[in-house]
Structure 1
Amino acid sequence: MPDSPFSRPRHVRPLRLTTRRGDFAALRAAPAHGPHRGTVLLLPGYTGGKEEFVPLLPHLVAAGYQAVAVDARGQNETAGPDDEAAYRQDALAMDVLAQAETLGGPVHLLGHSMGGHLARAAVLADPRPFASLTLLSSGPAQVGEERQLQLKLLLQALETLTMAQVWDMMRESRPAPVSPEEARHLRARWLRTHVSHLRVVGRQLLAEPDRTPELAALTQLPKHVVYGDADDTWTTWQLEDMAARLEAHRTILAGAGHSPNLQRPAETATSLIGFWSGIPRG
């Protein structure tokens, strides 16, 4: 297991995922031998990137799954235009549908945080390409009050400061407990992300409606809600209530915060594999 998500195991390969909606930077891990139990498409959260799923990948591959983690349009290593329309949720959802189409066959879709909202939008637009939906630390509507305040401050800063200046401001206000090497990678990822992506998606997180009833109506789509018992972006009550309304399989990870994929990767992977294994193939 790598010490950092930026230290990739040998079997994790960079991939340029070419779709009818353009190319997307991705990481792919697949079993070299044995049965192929399915394909998983992993969507990162706001200000995140595909590398944050690296700690999960060895576990998924060992269980027989091909896993593809993708940077969204304008995020990290996936290029994006200045035009803000490209980052509206409906446009990004169409990107996800195109990615699933390229991967072929029904795929298990997982979205972390904002990626969960994006995954939800994709399956509501067209559930047919998906074998299941997992919402990882992703709540039913807009983020909680503390996160709303942080987002508003970030969006204000992005209007007047450079990306480098905003990064320095964020690090001063919330120092990250990471190594110097990891800090360099995080800064580089931030600087690669398009400011239009951050603006549009940030505003969406402040206004995201509760689409749980629409999602619950997709009764044929297996659903899984996974979160840590110390999540600080949505309350555990909100996440529990959403899971109940969806009649979804639910996993609570003890000791995990908002990123169980980084904080409890083995336990997170076990919960995912158990859920997918219970879904009939085809």
Structure 2
Amino acid sequence: MSFNHNRNRPPSLPADGGRPRRRLKTKPLLVLLLILFVGNLLWFIAWLIPNQSGGSEEVASVDGEKITRQQWMAAMEELHGRDTLLELVNEKVMETAAKEYNIKVTDKEVDLELAMLRSAQEGIDKTIYSADEDRLRDNLKTQLILEKVLTKDIVIEDKDVEAFYNDNQALYDIKDAYRTRMIVVDSMGEADKAISELENGTSFEALAKERSVDTATGSLGGDIGYITQDQTTVDPKIAQTVTTIDVDSWSEPLELSDGRIAILSVTEKAEGQTFSYNDVKEHVSRELALEQLPQSVTPEAFWREFDAKWFYGE
């Protein structure tokens, strides 16, 4: 899977009329991680199911006509097998590159990237937040190795790094974020029924899939990702309410701006962090170096160097 490094972003003018404030582009990486997650999920679920009866085992049927495991697996490979294998090969290639060029990626660096992702609320597809965090961290580590390989010979002056940090300190003041699920219904009566089911032990995720009229989030068990108090990409009432909900609890029904009724649940609170100049110096230097690359570069560019081969040939 390709990693896009064309991260230039149109500058936005700060409120004080000073130097332009730039925000690093995270959306291409988020889209990439979403694709990788979907491929992983569907492909590995198939492999994890025990295969006791061989390829002719019936896994479903329609009007008496069976669908076999072999047919299922072939369809899975056709849809997602190439992308999943590509991810695995690229991950191994980058691990090899890290050893070759003596590149290290620390947990602290991954923590910073993860915090930046959680704070990058740009109306992106929230499916990314459904990814297993360990797998997400692995993907971020692979991305960081690639970036370090690409920028290892590019020199960025300290004064330029410091100037960027001074102009964009708000980027590194990460607010508390609340991983949120929601159930959206059309009336207060439906909301009361949902609350009653929750009080009787029904899981919030299952109820969101069953009852939420917001199909995009309902299919994800109501997951809308990490929400901050001052976030502008969600209904203001959602942003205001999440800070008042205890983890693993839910809110009273609240009316949204479109007239629908929402019930919110917070499943995790990510504590805010403020990253100092020393914390992000290398991160900023690398981002500025990436902007100097003439074109996007992907891990596949290193396949020949590290003798990578795969099922799909060239």
TM-score normalised to the size of structure 1?
0.25
- Structure with the bigger RCO (C-alpha within 8 Å, sep 6+) is 2
Decide which structure has greater strand share.
Answer: 1
Structure number, greater radius of gyration: 2
